[in-house]
Amino acid sequence: DTAVSQTPKYLVTQMGNDKSIKCEQNLGHDTMYWYKQDSKKFLKIMFSYNNKELIINETVPNRFSPKSPDKAHLNLHINSLELGDSAVYFCASSQIDREYEQYFGPGTRLTVT
Amino acid sequence: GNSVTQMEGPVTLSEEAFLTINCTYTATGYPSLFWYVQYPGEGLQLLLKATKADDKGSNKGFEATYRKETTSFHLEKGSVQVSDSAVYFCALSGYRDDKIIFGKGTRLHILP
């Protein structure tokens, strides 16, 4: 059973397009996250949701909009894609009060051409 | 603010060599400290943790001791294997923090 799953695994698209990445966790966790990992492996948190409420919103362009339809899902929509958005995006989840123990999805490699 | 600094890689070792990956931190109060590992093509996994000074976290032959006096949490393994090749991230979480601060990662290559 996959604990944290993401779709798609790979996404290649052109500048200016709008795309979405989906994330689902079946661990019963209350908190979900989106991270961006650049080509040098530097990992940066983008958003965090707890029970469908936004609790962390780092300095991210407003072209990025997370949506949490329920506490098991956190999707990431990106408008007007730019070359600099190319990266690997990871979804993660954790139990409340155990935010240090995060379970990561396999990642979505986004390439913008 | 809180931050984590870890040694830059890549680190290349032969199988059965001794491994140390250095990590130091800056934080107010008493953070919890972690090492995460990212195997090729996968997401990060929690490797070990320590929640207070002098605690030693250990898992899969890896160890790290929370040293408050030197603000360090160095990762060690006595005899590495090819399967240990991965990127290792040192991380911290402040008291009542709702997020983790990750270091920049250290890539480890183990040669057979």
pLDDT bracket for residue B93 (50, 70, 90): confident
Could you give the CA distance from residue B5 to residue A50 in angstroms, rounded to a whole number? 28
Could you give the CA distance from residue A64 to residue A34 in angstroms, rounded to a whole number? 11
Could you give the CA distance from residue B12 to residue B16 in angstroms, rounded to a whole number? 12
Per-residue pLDDT of chain A (113 residues; tens, 9 = 90+): 669 999 999 999 999 999 999 999 999 999 999 999 988 888 889 988 888 788 877 778 899 999 999 989 999 999 999 999 999 999 999 987 777 788 999 999 999 99
Closest chain B CA to residue A44? B102
Could you give the CA distance from residue A26 to residue A85 in angstroms, rounded to a whole number? 28
pLDDT of residue A42: 84
CA end-to-end distance (rounded Å), chain B: 41
Q: Is the pLDDT of residue B98 over 70?
A: no
Q: How far is CA A77 from CA A23, A72, A93, B1, B26, in A?
A: 11, 17, 18, 30, 34
Q: Cβ atoms within 10 A of the Cβ of B87, count?
A: 20
φ/ψ (deg, to 5) at A84: -70, -5
pLDDT bracket for residue B86 (50, 70, 90): very high
What are the beta bridge partners of residue A30?
Answer: none
Owner of token pair 């709702």: B98
Minimal Cα–Cα distance from B45 to chain A, Å?
Answer: 7
Q: Which of A41, A50, A100 sits opposite B87 (nearest CB)?
A: A41
Could you give the CA distance from residue B27 to residue B4 in angstroms, rounded to a whole number? 9
